[in-house]
Each structure stands twice: as C-alpha cells, then as structure tokens.
Amino acid sequence: MRVSALLCLVLLLCACVAPPIQDTDETPLENYWRLVEVAEPVYPTAAREAGIEGHVLVQVRIGRQGVVQQARVLESEPGEIFVPSVMRAIHTFRYEATDNNPDRRSMYTEYRFDFELDANSND
C-alpha cells in the first residue's frame, strides 16, 4: 500500500511540472529569459597556431534558476577541438526570467559559436 501511495504522489508531482519550452519562432527565448552574463569561448592555442577554424553548435537547457542545466553538442567542425572551450563558456551563462515567465519555466535553445582567425593578425 505504501508503494502505491508513493507512486501516486510521484506521478502527481511530475504532472504538475511544466515541460521545458523550446526556443522557436513562436516561442523565442527573449520572451522568457534574458541573458545577463555571457562569456565568449577562448580560441584554443593549438587551433590558433595550426590555423584551424571551425564552429560548434550547442543545445542548452536553461533551468529554473537561470543557469545552464544541460549542454549538448549538436555539431562540431572540425572534430572536437573547440568543444571544451565552448562548454566552459556556456556553463557561465546566466539568465533572468522575463515578466512573461513568472513560473521560471525551463527552456531549450541553441547557440552556434564560430571560430575564425583574423586575416589581419600576425598569428
């Protein structure tokens, strides 16, 4: 009997938690969360010295506290040389809920980080 009562309680609590919002044209991130702290990823020294350029596309889940709860690499070119720098940076992002998000619903969004060498630099 205790197990079934506990199971009912867990199911009830799960039903009360709203699923994360997906950042789309109809539900843009800016309507729910405002980015207040951001850090740019550092260009890896080895990639810079080798003249390697690329990009990383990351899906992040913004949690109720306004911090990145999850980050998942969707695409990385070439290889994963830029991934550690992007992951360090993305986990420093901080958000504030907007007035449209009084319940502080979590949300998924994506960021693309491009790593390009400056043609005018002497690297």
How does pLDDT run across 111-120, given as a tens digit for each residue? 999 999 987 6
Cβ 57 vs Cβ 76: under 8 Å? yes
Does this model's pTM top 0.75? yes
For the chain, give the mean pLDDT.
87
- Across the range 43-54, mean pLDDT stands at 97
Question: What is the set of domains in the chain, with CATH numbers?
Answer: 19-115 (3.30.2420.10)
Q: What is the model's pLDDT at position 5?
A: 56
Q: What is the model's pLDDT at position 24?
A: 78
Does 84 have pLDDT greater than 70? yes
Gyration radius of the chain over CA positions: 19
CA atoms within 13 A on the CB side of 109: 25
pLDDT classification of 26: cutoffs 50, 70, 90:
confident
Q: Which two tokens stand for residue 24?
A: 């789309």
